Amino acid sequence: MRSKLFVPGSRPELFAKALASDADAISFDVEDSVPEDAKARAREQIADFLRSGAFRDSLRAKIVIVRVNALTSRHFEGDLMAFTCPEVALLNLPKAQHAADIREAAAALQRAERRNGLKQPMRLLVNIETPRALRLASGLADAHPRVAGLQLGLTDLFESLRIDRQNTHNVHAGMFAVRLASGESGRFAYDSAFPDVADEEGFRREAELARRMGYIGKSCVHPKQVAIANEIFRVDELQLEAARRIVGAARDAAASGRGAFLLDGRMIDLPIIKRAEALLAEANEAPRRS
């Protein structure tokens, strides 16, 4: 999921265009991008599209995500009933503050699955976008097995605290905290949206930083950002070849009773081997270790 393109639920004229884009995932939104008095209509429009022939005909292995309204919103239960369906892979949960919020959302989701007759349990992508959520991020990630990953929300977090988004040290600090929290619980980390569509270099710098920290992809608010995200988060063939050599050499070393060994002048041990195996797993070349 190198790229995830946000689509406001109040803009149905964009739905098919987004689905035809090169984004790996489409994130329909009924939260911040939709005015309060338009949320119910936006929900209906997305639900109708997901069940339409146009959606089925144009779907090209896209991951479909819906960002629902917050647990405390009067729209939350209606969102769950509309989007707990086979067409949606992940529900993006905003404004979670405590582990109890995650458990409550998971319980509500389970009820919606029963009412809608959905057999496959759905999972949650949890936004980290408030000071409290950032401080408690590892607890949010670990709160329930339905949590698939954490998504950093720098715009909400930084704007509320008047933190300078242009300062790389500030961005690094937020990314680093969420990445460690996701890693502690074995969940993936997904990078924030970058609102300045005209600043392509700024988007690129932030995406490159996220990639170096082990994030799996970046949110996009405009189709022009998708190509950059896809480029930066692609699996590089040189990296794959290096990973293949590490895994192959590790097998040979294990056969001779060595857990650590030199390869091309570099000391290789278990953390590096596991990272190489994970990279190959991402490219569907090898299974991850349990």
Shared domain check, 257 and 190: no
Shared domain check, 88 and 119: yes
How, if at all, do strands 218-220 and 90-93 pair?
A: unpaired
pLDDT at 173 over 50: yes
Shared domain check, 250 and 131: no
- DSSP letter for each residue of 138-158: HHHHTS-TTEEEEEE-HHHHH
**In contact, 87 and 64? CB cutoff 8 Å:** yes
Shared domain check, 226 and 149: yes
Condensed to tens digits (0 to 9), the pLDDT of residues 180-203 reads 999 999 999 999 999 999 999 999
Shared domain check, 156 and 196: yes
Shared domain check, 68 and 179: yes
Token readout for 239 is 């990296």
pLDDT at 267 over 50: yes
Mean pLDDT in residue range 77-89: 95
- Rounded to whole angstroms, how far apart are CA atoms 103 and 105? 5
Model confidence, pTM: 0.84
Shared domain check, 192 and 66: yes
pLDDT at 2 over 60: yes
Shared domain check, 246 and 134: no
Shared domain check, 266 and 141: no
Condensed to tens digits (0 to 9), the pLDDT of residues 216-227 reads 999 999 999 999
Residue-wise over 91-119: b if at least 16 C-beta within 10 A, else e? bbbbbbbebebbebbbebbbebbeeeebe
Residue type, 59: L
- As a three-state string, the secondary structure of 43-65 is HHHHHHHHCCHHHHHHCCCCEEE
**In contact, 99 and 61? CB cutoff 8 Å:** no
Residue 209 belongs to some domain of the structure: yes
Residue 290: per-residue pLDDT: 37
Shared domain check, 188 and 253: no
Alpha-helix runs per DSSP H in 51-98: 53-58, 76-83
Residue 260: per-residue pLDDT: 86
Residue 57: per-residue pLDDT: 67
**In contact, 168 and 205? CB cutoff 8 Å:** yes
Q: Determine the distance from the C-alpha atom of residue 171 to the mean position of all C-alpha atoms in its chain, rounded to a whole number.
A: 17
Mean pLDDT in residue range 4-21: 94
**In contact, 169 and 209? CB cutoff 8 Å:** no
Range of the domain at 134: 3-232
